[in-house]
Amino acid sequence: MISPFRILTKDPQSKARTGLLYTKHGFVQTPVFMPVATQATVKALTSQDLSDVGAQCLLSNTYHLYLRPGTKTLKKLGGLHKFMRWGGSILTDSGGFQVYSLSQLRKITEEGVLFRSHHDGSKHLFTPENVIEFENEIGSDIWTMLDVCIHAKDPAKRDAREALEQTKRWAVRAAAQYQKTVPQQNITQNEDGSFAVGNSLLFGIIQGAVFPDLRKEAALHMASLPTHGYCIGGLSLGETMEQMNESVLAVTENLPEGKPRYFMGLGTPVEILNCVERGVDMFDCVWPTRVARNGMVMTDEGRMNIKNACFRLDERPLDENCDCFTCRNYSRAYLCHLFRSGELTSHRLLSIHNIRFLTRTMERIRAAIENGSFKSFKEEFIRKYQ
Ligand SMILES: [Zn+2]
């Protein structure tokens, strides 16, 4: 299956690369950080804020949108882009991770996963087929397949094997359902190498916990199915950095080069750099906005907490190198005051800064790969940040 992904530059010293992923809402420059719009919004931010900080693609959650407002409701309202007034791309996760982490009484059968809503306890069934239908109703640009994610820090290999086998069987069914739902993908390559994309794309999810042999097997299986790209799921759940790096490498070494790879739920700058080095192109995480609401600010020199008394008379911006709305307009003293007074504006202003910090970091990563200095950029970044 043709993937509307163009690799622009490859780093000669690592597996890092820059590229363009085309969707029905334009293109996404990779490596990319995708802010998380769980409930059709990135907490405390408007879609205008997100455009202003350079967000290209948002991640939204099928599980949450299915339960509220309901994917049928979203379809009636013209889809998620129109609903939340977002003109860029949207990727939806399959809901698998939320079913395993949020809902009660989940039961996995061959057919799918039966679970109770975390809102009202009502019963629901997700199958590989109906999740594709829900994503179609949402109207997102990139759809992902239902998977079995073991939500454990240190899973037994037997459990990881079982989850992987189920994920593989469901992936075959999801790919078939995608073909039924989107028989014409309308992907054409123009003379200048760009793509025109008329429909939603499909990404498969690679599981296998922290076992490199299972990861390799999962990657090879997914590579044999018709998809436009790949998600790496079931990591960043408390494993060591070494386990994560090994698992990622076992995946990227066994995938076709010309399709994008997305690490689900990873968003600290150092982890992103490690994964970019190993050939990952896309990232998302709630972490930068979650910590922003607790007063945590990311800068080139590491993290700081704006609530600290030392900022009460500090007239500098959060980060002298940052071009975001918050840094261009407000002092640390003002933001410290807003936080200490419990003012909600502080959540918005710090979220704007933290997301801009990550989108700017990705811009710098792309520039470093393009001018052949990724390795030295990474070392210098980590030296200052830690
Ligand atoms: Zn800023």
Q: Which region among 173-177, 238-242, 318-322 has the lowest average model confidence (pLDDT)?
A: 238-242
Kindly give the distance from the C-alpha atom of residue 248 to the centroid of ligand 1, in angstroms, as a whole number. 31
141 has catalytic annotation: no
State the DSSP string of 326-354: HHHH--HHHHHHHHHTT-THHHHHHHHHH
Tens of pLDDT, residues 265-313: 998 999 999 999 999 999 999 999 999 999 999 999 999 999 999 999 9
Looking at the predicted structure, is the pLDDT value of residue 151 above 80?
A: no
Domain ranges of the chain: 5-285, 287-386
Region 130-158 average pLDDT: 92
Nearest to 206 by CA among 238, 135, 254, 159: 254
Residue 377, pLDDT score: 98
Kindly give the distance from the C-alpha atom of residue 148 to the centroid of ligand 1, in angstroms, as a whole number. 38
Q: Which region among 50-54, 149-153, 294-298, 377-381 has the lowest average model confidence (pLDDT)?
A: 149-153
Kindly give the distance from the C-alpha atom of residue 354 to the centroid of ligand 1, in angstroms, as a whole number. 7
Kindly give the distance from the C-alpha atom of residue 267 to the centroid of ligand 1, in angstroms, as a whole number. 17
Residue 322, pLDDT score: 97
Cis geometry, peptide bond prior to residue 31 (ω within 30 degrees of 0): yes
Kindly give the distance from the C-alpha atom of residue 356 to the centroid of ligand 1, in angstroms, as a whole number. 6
| Candidates 11, 93, 281, 319; catalytic one | 93
Looking at the predicted structure, is the pLDDT value of residue 223 above 80?
A: yes
Q: What is the mean pLDDT of the chain?
A: 96
Q: Which region among 18-22, 137-141, 267-271 has the lowest average model confidence (pLDDT)?
A: 267-271
Residue 153, pLDDT score: 74
Residue 177, pLDDT score: 98
What is the share, in percent, of the chain residues with pLDDT greater than 90?
91
Kindly give the distance from the C-alpha atom of residue 362 to the centroid of ligand 1, in angstroms, as a whole number. 15
Kindly give the distance from the C-alpha atom of residue 289 to the centroid of ligand 1, in angstroms, as a whole number. 13
CA–CA dist 106, 183 (Å, integer): 32
Neighbours of ion ligand 1 (CB under 5 A): 322, 324, 326-327, 353
Q: Which fold has domain 5-285?
A: TIM Barrel (3.20.20)
pLDDT band at 356; cut points 50, 70, 90 = very high
Classify burial at 289, counting beta carbons within 10 Å of its beta carbon; exposed 0-12, middle 13-18, buried 19 or more. buried
Q: Higher pLDDT residue, 22 or 96?
A: 22
Tens of pLDDT, residues 74-127: 999 999 999 999 999 999 998 888 888 876 778 999 999 999 988 898 999 999
Kindly give the distance from the C-alpha atom of residue 300 to the centroid of ligand 1, in angstroms, as a whole number. 11
Looking at the predicted structure, is the pLDDT value of residue 144 above 80?
A: yes
Looking at the predicted structure, is the pLDDT value of residue 129 above 90?
A: yes
Residue 139, pLDDT score: 98
Kindly give the distance from the C-alpha atom of residue 269 to the centroid of ligand 1, in angstroms, as a whole number. 16
CA–CA dist 370, 374 (Å, integer): 8
| Candidates 11, 281, 284, 319; catalytic one | 284
Spatial contact of 131 and 140, defined as CB atoms under 8 Å apart: no
Task: State CA 266 to chain mean position distance.
Answer: 7
pLDDT band at 352; cut points 50, 70, 90 = very high
pLDDT band at 23; cut points 50, 70, 90 = very high
Q: In what order do the strands lie in the sheet with 113-116?
A: 104-108, 113-116, 123-126
Kindly give the distance from the C-alpha atom of residue 321 to the centroid of ligand 1, in angstroms, as a whole number. 8
Nearest to 302 by CA among 367, 376, 381, 373: 381
Kindly give the distance from the C-alpha atom of residue 47 to the centroid of ligand 1, in angstroms, as a whole number. 17
Kindly give the distance from the C-alpha atom of residue 53 to the centroid of ligand 1, in angstroms, as a whole number. 9
Looking at the predicted structure, is the pLDDT value of residue 229 above 80?
A: yes
11 has catalytic annotation: no
